[in-house]
Structure 1
Amino acid sequence: MRTIIHLSDLHFGRIDTAIIEPLIAQVHELKPDLVVVSGDLTQRARSAQFKQARHFLDALPQPQLVVPGNHDVPLFNIAARLLQPLRKYRRYIGEDLHPVFMDDEMVVVGINTARSLTIKDGRVNDRQIEITRRQLADVGDHMVKIIVTHHPFDLPPGPQHHSLVGKAIPAMRAFALCGADLLLAGHAHISSAVSSAGRYNIPGYSALVVQAGTATSTRGRGEVNSFNVLQIEAHQITVHRLGWEPGQNTFSLAASQSFMQRGSEWFRMDDLSDGPSASATHPPARTATG
């Protein structure tokens, strides 16, 4: 089994500073196999904000896989936005805009969805789709195959449909061909975990789509600051959402959902007739205690 910490929408430049040190300590306590950050490390893509984000990442466990978000592209500097939209991200965070992590149980591929010609929307292009398809197709089906973007491929029903990544439909068809299991994203500042089958009608295939809320920003959009802890093994994934408790100065367990794969489709275990195992719905003890 592998443990992934999924952080998103840090927005350095507009953060709750009281959260930073407890969050760093708690992530270390959870001893993740991988830390994923799904974009928007800064509020306005300024050098000072990227330096703060870099300092934060350096304080977290390794290995890490990080992708940029739309806020990591300059908004007001039009020349930089059009000509070198991710220059500061590359300088302070990482050169690789298509990062890959792989061990003997999972492969994780990051895709940059931030674009210079839009303010908040994002998209994938044909080249990114094909590269990702090949990378995931090249590993065995015993591996859990994970994709990380900033802009989401799915969200629960509601007004956030405009936040979905552009070219999602051809991307999902390609992901079905290579057997992608799990899609991690952020952007909407809303936590959720859903099967892609509700939005994409791809016979015999569905992925698990997991959203992280904002870990550190003051722009909560009705949710407390939170992050996800994913326990991942072949054919079974449990998603724990940890929410900020300011009175206790820690993140505590807010919700848990468990999913199981049958064939090439992912289902909530509550929806399966045989029900979940007792252990599947319990987070690690250290998660609950903070």
Structure 2
Amino acid sequence: MRTLVHLSDLHFGRVDEQLLAPLRATIEAIGPDLVVVSGDLTQRALSVQFEAARAYLDSLPGPQIIVPGNHDISLYNLVRRFLQPLTRYKRHITSDLAPTYFDDEIAVLGINTARSLTFKDGRVNHEQVASMRAAFAGIDPALTRIVVTHHPFDLPEAVERSEVVDRAPMAMQAFAEEGVDLLLAGHLHLSHAGNTAERYQIRDFAALVVQAGTATSTRGRGEVNGFNVIRIHHGCIEVDRYGWDDSARQFARLKTETFRRSANVWAVHIGGLLAAGL
């Protein structure tokens, strides 16, 4: 079994400072095998914000897989936005925009979906998809394949379709061909877990999509601050959603959802039956 902590949308520069120490303590108590951070480490891509984010990440367990978000590209400095869009991110966080983590149970790949030409939307391109194929080529079929992006490939029902990452159908077809199991994302400040069967009707394939809300930002959009704990067994994934309990001044587990795989289809596990949605 592998345990992942999935954080997103930290937004240093606009964090709720009271959450930082309890979040760290909770993560340390969980003892994850891997910490995943799916973008928007800063509010306005300022050096001081990246420095604060780096210091906090250094206080959390490792190893870590981190990808940038749209807020990690300068918004108002047009020179930086278009000519040096992720220079500060690469200086302070990581120069690797396609990070990987492989062990004998999981294969994790980060893909950068943040782009200079749009203020908030994201995109995946053909070169990134080709790199994904190369990264997963020849690995043990028993490994759970995980892709981490900032922008989501699927959405909660109430969210507009425009929030889906651009070129998602092209990427999803490649994910199906490579047997990708799990897609982790953030961006919306909303938590969500489900499969891709309805949006992408690909024969005999449905990946599991898990969305994290914001762990530390003051912009909760109707949800308490939170994060996910993902426990990966062979053919089974449990998603625990943790949320901030203001009265107790700590993060607590709010709900657990279980998903099982049948062939290449992930689906909610309810009372021993698979709700595949196919």
Same fold (TM over 0.5): yes
TM-score band, normalised by shorter chain: over 0.9
The reply on whether 1:161 has 2:161 as its aligned counterpart is yes
% identity of equivalent residues? 53
Q: TM-score, normalization: structure 2?
A: 0.97
Show the counterpart of 1:55.
55
Q: Which runs of 5+ in 1 are unaligned?
A: 276-290
Moved over 6 A (4+): none
Mapped partners of 1:115, 1:271: distance in 2: 43
- Equivalent in the alignment of 1:21: 21
* CA distance 1:210–1:271, shift in 2 (3 Å): farther
* 1:66 matches 2:101: no
Partner of 1:278: none
CA distance in 1, matches of 2:134, 2:115: 23
Q: Distance in 2 between matches of 1:153 and 1:255?
A: 23
CA contact (8 A) 1:122 1:151 kept: yes
Paired position in structure 2 for 1:115: 115
Q: 1:136 to 1:271 in 2, by over 3 A?
A: farther
* Cross-structure match for 2:202: 202
1:59-105 residue CA offsets vs partner (Å, 9 max, x unmatched): 00010000000000000000000001000000000000000001110
Alignment of 1:1-290 (within 5 A): 1-270=1-270, 273=273
Contact 2:173 2:202 (8 Å CA) reproduced: yes
| Count of matched residue positions in the alignment of Structure 1 and Structure 2 | 275
Q: For 2:160 and 2:14, how far apart are their aligned partners in 1? A: 22
Distance 1:252 1:160 in 2: 30
RMSD, matched Cα:
1.1
- In 2, the alpha carbon distance for the partners of 1:272 and 1:123 equals 37
1:68·1:89 contact (CA, 8 Å) conserved in 2?
yes
Moved more, 132-141 or 223-232: 132-141
Amino acid at match of 1:196: T
* TM-score, normalised via structure 1 length: 0.93
Q: Does the 8 Å CA contact 2:9/2:186 hold for their aligned counterparts?
A: yes
Do the aligned residues in 2 keep the contact of 1:134 with 1:178 (CA within 8 Å)? no
Worse overlay, 159-168 or 7-16: 159-168
